[in-house]
A = this chain, B = another copy of it.
Amino acid sequence: MKSTFGELDDRKKKILRAIVNAHIRGGGPVGSKFLAHNQHITLSSATIRNEMAELEALGYLEQPHTSAGRIPSERGYRFYVNSLMEDYRLSAAELRQLNNLMRSKIEELDKLLESAGKLISALTNYTSLAVKPRQREVVITHIRVLYLDTQTFLLVLITSADIVKTKYVWSPITVTDELLYRLERELNTFLTGVPMESITLPLIMELTARLPDCEQLVTPIIRYVYEAIGEIDSGDLHVEGINLLLQYPEYADVERFKELLKLLERKEDILNLVSQHQGDSTQVIIGGESPVKVMHNSSFIFRKIECGGRVVGVIGVLGPCRMDYSRVIATVEHLANSIANRPSSINQEPGTLAGEPTENKLPE
């Protein structure tokens, strides 16, 4: 059957698959002779050459130069990922390592994502990204004020994103339990459930008026509330295993690698890219499909981790377009699912409450 427009006949698919597989393994362009030795292909090299020429005409293959073999084009990779590649079965050793991580019962999601990143790097031999995504529209749900001594108290903010922020406050005035009680009550009245934009000057003035004996505390506290919410909003990116990319000839060009490093260090573009993508399934961005220019020679695979309807993280893998897609996808999916379904450890209410600790440094 001749290739009707846009579709490939079985033989072409088989050859394309073999080329991509071989290229992913070997790195170099693959030639007709090499393919003729392939077990699954019982054609002469001449026939294969003809098919390859057609695949190139259709845009699935490219030729670095006349006397080289063919390499997959981006379109070729895309077709491979969509239609050709076989599912990868994780080996026993890989499963063991993945499960070990989950069994280690790391409590903090941040730390867990970081460890997951390390593990993915190690398993796939590519750079891993672990994203703590932006949390939009965070509001304070509770405020607590803890008495420490007559000059200091601890402010505890519990937010709708279930993140807790704490802060020491040194008070210029002597504080009493009674004062703190009133402070706590008024702060809760005025600041909980209120989106950032609504904390306006009139509101602040009214709040201050209700607390005539501790005016001096109100402004800094509100400033801190602002900052805390901003920090929760902001998102973060952990990168592991950058050094692994240097083993691939694709990154031998120092200038190119440098640009990629810059991208990863700036974090912003990656955070945007990840938060813009909607899909729940594993996303595969191949080379030029990325809106980010410096990623045009790389592929990026990532997947959201959802717990109870909220995106709590994103893990991903960055590597050359010549990436072992099926293995990476299998690894990322396994890990994302494990994290999403992990039981929490302080009295497991499965899938609902899992605390993340945190810290609050007072550099005296």
Q: Which residues of A approach B to under 8 Å, CB–CB?
A: 107-111, 142, 144, 146, 148, 152, 154-156, 158, 161-172, 216-217, 220-221, 223-224, 227-228, 231-232, 240-243, 246-247, 252, 254, 257-259, 261-262, 265, 307-308, 310, 312, 344-349, 351-364
Contact = CB atoms under 8 A, between A and B. Distances in A.
B162 A164 contact: no
A362 B224 contact: no
24 contacts: A108-B231, A108-B361, A110-B361, A111-B231, A148-B158, A164-B168, A164-B360, A165-B359, A167-B357, A168-B354, A224-B355, A227-B357, A242-B265, A243-B265, A246-B254, A252-B254, A308-B363, A308-B364, A352-B364, A354-B364, A355-B362, A356-B361, A356-B363, A358-B360
Given A164-B166, A167-B346, A169-B346, A357 B310 contact: no
B364 A361 contact: no
Contacts of A307: 363-364
A65 B79 CA distance: 54
Contact of A354 (B164, B258, B362): B362
Contact of A166 (B166, B168, B170, B240): B166
Interface centre among A162, A223, A246, A357 (most CB of B within 10 A): A357
Contacts of A261: 242-243, 246
A354 to B, nearest CB: 5
Nearest to A356: B361
Given A231-B111, A242-B261, A243-B265, A353 B362 contact: yes
Contacts of A155: 355
Interface centre among A109, A171, A243, A361 (most CB of B within 10 A): A361
B361 A358 contact: yes
Given A166-B164, A254-B252, A258-B246, A221 B346 contact: yes
Interface centre among A164, A170, A349 (most CB of B within 10 A): A164
Contacts of A156: 146, 154, 156, 166
A217 B364 contact: no
Nearest to A220: B346
A224 B312 contact: no
Contact of A355 (B169, B257, B352, B355): B169
